[in-house]
Amino acid sequence: MTIVAVPSEAPGGLDARISAHFGHCAMFTLVQVQDGRVGDVTVLPNEGHEHGGCMAPVMLLKQHEVEALVAGGMGMRPLAGFQQVGIKVYHTGNAGTVGEAIELMAANRCQEFGEAQTCAGGGGECGGHDHEPRRDIERPPIDGTVDVRSDRVVSFHFTLREKDGEVIESSHNGRPARYLHGHDNLVPGLERALTGLEVGAHTVVEVSAAEGYGERNEDKVIDVPRDQLPPDIEVGGLVHAQDPSGGMMALTVTEVGDALVRLDANHPLAGMDLVFDITIVCIEAAVPEELEHGHPH
């Protein structure tokens, strides 16, 4: 049995309309799916971003044992959060209601997200690329040069490598990555290098650890008593805790002993010099809600 969550408009349930952006939905409809059949349906109010930022909805669904989310759009940070906690994220496709999305999910017809959600909107320079623009956001046309600059939504395909050449991740077998330029959605070194590029531009960017995910900090490696953690904890797993600012942080399990477990709060790419191979595929004007929330919808 799999518990699937769908961001929903009020009052939730199978007949409810799907909310366009998971983080700001009124509620989540949770549906039990087993062998292609729909089971129990429950409704979970969305607690929003007030506590824990974009990770708050992620942790809420994880606490309710959700294993899959079917959504229309989200930013790169929450998508990474879902991936960290083991919740798979799928795109709603043409589904308009929760029930339609669940039917597609049960029939294995939902496409899994890539590193970021599909490119949105009807304006800009999205035509002719291998992604599906959302049609529910009306975007203003861009006056002047269509290039990468602040307050524009940018989509790009990428291959990420270590400096010695080993590939870490690529978007080329899925959907392009997507971010809101000038709002700290990307590591500083990469965002700065993309400024001014136009659709179709290709660039290779070397990003040092300091300009990427930071240098490793051994003070972020801690030992925790084994009995304070779940019994099925294993190396490579993730533990989530509240940071001093009230947000959520992920710690990777690096060692499991009889009495102690070693946890590492460094980003998995911390301390690494990286090479990004980037091709710009879409540039659009952001809408006010995206500017308010700091990420694309």
Domain positions in the chain: 2-106, 218-264
Q: What is the Cα–Cα distance from 76 to 78, expressed in whole angstroms?
A: 6
* CATH number of this structure's domain 218-264, picked from the four choices 1.10.10.10, 2.40.10.330, 1.20.1250.20, 2.60.40.1180: 2.40.10.330
Task: Write out the two tokens for 7.
Answer: 């961001």
Q: What is the Cα–Cα distance from 253 to 241, expressed in whole angstroms?
A: 13
C-alpha dihedral sign at 70, 71, 72, 76:
negative
Q: Tens digit of pLDDT per residue, the chain (297 long)?
A: 899 999 998 888 998 888 866 666 788 999 998 887 888 999 998 865 544 455 678 888 988 999 999 987 666 667 777 887 889 988 877 788 899 889 888 888 877 775 444 433 333 333 333 334 444 578 889 988 999 999 999 999 999 999 988 898 888 877 788 899 999 889 999 999 999 999 999 999 999 999 999 999 999 999 999 998 888 888 887 777 766 666 567 788 999 999 999 999 888 899 999 999 999 999 999 999 889 888 887
Question: What's this model's pTM, rounded to 2 decimal places?
Answer: 0.56
Beta bridge partners of residue 155, listed in sequence order? 178, 282
Per CATH, 2-106 and 218-264 having the same topology is answered no
Task: Say which CATH topology domain 2-106 has.
Answer: Nucleotidyltransferase; domain 5 (3.30.420)
